[in-house]
Structure 1
Amino acid sequence: EAEQYIAGCIILAAAPCTAMVFVWSYLTDGDPAYTLVQVSVNDLIMLVLFAPLVVFLVSGASSLHVPYEVLLYSVLAFIVIPLTIGVLLRQWFIRNHSKEWFENTLLPRFAPVTIIALLATLVLIFAFQAENISGKALHVALIAVPLLLQVYFNASLTYGLMKWLKVPYAVAAPGALIGASNFFELAVATAIALFGAESGAALVTVVGVLVEVPVMLSVCAACNRTRDWFPAEAAA
């Protein structure tokens, strides 16, 4: 089971955060344009590197077999298809209305949908994994400790470097947040597809969700409290 836990950690770490960064950035008054660039870069990186990285690291750290095609299907379902649909819809709306209407009228209407979708995702994940979590409480606690430490370490390191480099707060906050969070939907789905819903790998990714949401909210709060570390004219 230890190998399953290792595999779960690798899958979680290999999936950097994308969509949720918009939520974290919004909560910290981050620069939307910079956040979009971050997410785009992460998507492009995962398109190319997610599958080979997971295969290489899991195979090297354990004796588990990782079917490459399953990883490709995960990338296709969670990155390629949503990204393609999003680009096409954006172009269609702008062509038939206007960019101003799209950004100032349509997008604000979807703001509540983001929170509802997040809550629905969390409820479904925990509902399907409730027995796995409750039956292995000690394992959950042991898994949560390193995940919690890596979130705070990554966020602190990035935020500190941003301060040292005198980066504006509106860039520093989302920069720290994206460096500490993960694309947990992709990680959970991939772990379940590879090893099954009751596997140790799936448990690790679900614990990642359990840890990430409250911890990332605390990181957002810390960023908001320390925005005066940055030049006043650069604050959002």
Structure 2
Amino acid sequence: MSLFERYLTVWVGLCIVAGVLLGHLAPSVFHAIGAVEIAQVNLPVAVLIWLMIVPMLLKIDFAALGEVGRHWRGIGVTLFVNWAVKPFSMALLGWLFIGWLFRPLLPADQIDSYIAGLIILAAAPCTAMVFVWSNLTKGEPHFTLSQVALNDAIMVVAFAPIVALLLGLSAITVPWGTLVLSVVLYIVIPVIVAQLLRGRLLAHGGQAALDGLLARLGPLSLVALLATLVLLFGFQGEAIIAQPLVIALLAVPILIQVYFNAGLAYLLNRATGEAHCVAGPSALIGASNFFELAVAAAISLFGFTSGAALATVVGVLIEVPVMLSVVWIVNRSKGWYERTAEAGKIQPAD
């Protein structure tokens, strides 16, 4: 992990401060930026999101899907947690904490929007950062690559229906046109562009050419993320200053969801006999989120100033320190994980 990535939370915090200050000093600039949109999609943000997402998708080799069968138990656990548990557990936690326990402490007109943002955040499994977390846990690289490729492929078709279903259950009107457009703009087209560019680079310059482009685009991707946050907090500044408790309250269901899903995936891998080098990345992708996509979708569906956009940004704020704590737990528990019971109850998978 680079120095910049390691201290991402610090940079996010600075962007929050910068966005709030700039929003007060130059509100007309932010309103002008917010007005540049087509079909409820803000064009400046769309460009920034593309700069975030495309470099990450360049790392994905969809040919790795051929490796899925090698670790079918770990893949099965990952798919179960990511698509059958994670979005629904977050919806439940959102309803419990934001819709009930914390309701008296939050703006009444934003309750549903906050829950929607949490659902959107949980419906998008992490992509690029999983490679970082997997490396820190000495994860099996072929498994990591194949599970990320498979999750991205599923996300193309599953993200919109799951989000729509859970928003519908939350009694939130689903703008289907905007939701489908968000999926096309922020998943389908970037995947196609990234894979075409990846194939061209590998065909003409090999892995060295791809690595060189990724090295150049990596910092640009993070700068685009931080610029998006400045815009978000430029619009959200007054609400945050008036209600600083909102950030802390939104973090509660996110934190519980991260540890619950990571622990569930980790224990299920142990129960099915997968090796620790598979269980680590499986738990990590089950816990982390594709927050770039979540931020983009929340903005498209509900707008810059919405509680949904703010909820997804809270996910960005706590992502790095929380995931590093999960990495620490996975590494520290390796001896326990691999310890064989007297009866030989658990053996690492071949």
Whether TM exceeds 0.5 here: the answer is yes
d(CA) in 1 for partners of 2:158 and 2:195?
Answer: 22
| TM-score, scaled relative to structure 2 | 0.59
Counterparts of residues 197-236 of structure 1 (less than 5 Å): 197-231=304-338
**Is the contact made by 2:133 and 2:284 (CA closer than 8 Å) also made in structure 1?**
yes
Alignment of 1:128 with 2:231, yes or no, is yes
Residue 127 of structure 1 aligns with an amino acid whose one-letter code is V
Q: Find the partner of 1:116 among 204, 211, 219.
A: 219
Other structure's SS at 1:78 match: helix
**Is the contact made by 1:125 and 1:206 (CA closer than 8 Å) also made in structure 2?**
no
Percent identity over paired residues: 50
Q: How many residues align?
A: 228
**Is the contact made by 1:12 and 1:205 (CA closer than 8 Å) also made in structure 2?**
yes
User: Which runs of 5 or more residues in structure 2 are unaligned?
Assistant: 1-109, 340-347
d(CA) in 1 for partners of 2:331 and 2:224?
Answer: 26
d(CA) in 1 for partners of 2:218 and 2:322?
Answer: 17
Residue 5 of structure 1 aligns with an amino acid whose one-letter code is Y
**Is the contact made by 2:121 and 2:312 (CA closer than 8 Å) also made in structure 1?**
yes
Deviates more, 1:111-120 or 1:6-15: 111-120
Please name the residue that 2:184 is paired with: 76
d(CA) in 2 for partners of 1:184 and 1:5?
Answer: 15
User: Which runs of 5 or more residues in structure 1 are unaligned?
Assistant: none
How far apart are residue 155 of structure 1 and its match?
0.7
Other structure's SS at 1:70 match: helix
Alignment of 1:65 with 2:173, yes or no, is yes
Please name the residue that 1:141 is paired with: 248
Alignment of 1:50 with 2:164, yes or no, is no
**Is the contact made by 1:30 and 1:174 (CA closer than 8 Å) also made in structure 2?**
yes
Please name the residue that 1:188 is paired with: 295
Other structure's SS at 2:127 match: coil
Q: Find the partner of 1:21 among 130, 144, 152.
A: 130
Counterparts of residues 89-104 of structure 1 (less than 5 Å): 89-97=197-205, 101-102=206-207
d(CA) in 1 for partners of 2:217 and 2:271?
Answer: 33
**Is the contact made by 1:195 and 1:201 (CA closer than 8 Å) also made in structure 2?**
yes
How far apart are residue 231 of structure 1 and its match?
4.5
Specify the structure having the higher radius of gyration (Cα). 2
Other structure's SS at 1:29 match: coil
Please name the residue that 2:258 is paired with: 151
**Is the contact made by 2:201 and 2:209 (CA closer than 8 Å) also made in structure 1?**
no
d(CA) in 1 for partners of 2:327 and 2:169?
Answer: 35
Change over 3 Å in CA distance of 1:114–1:228 after alignment to 2: farther
Aligned CA-pair RMSD: 2.5
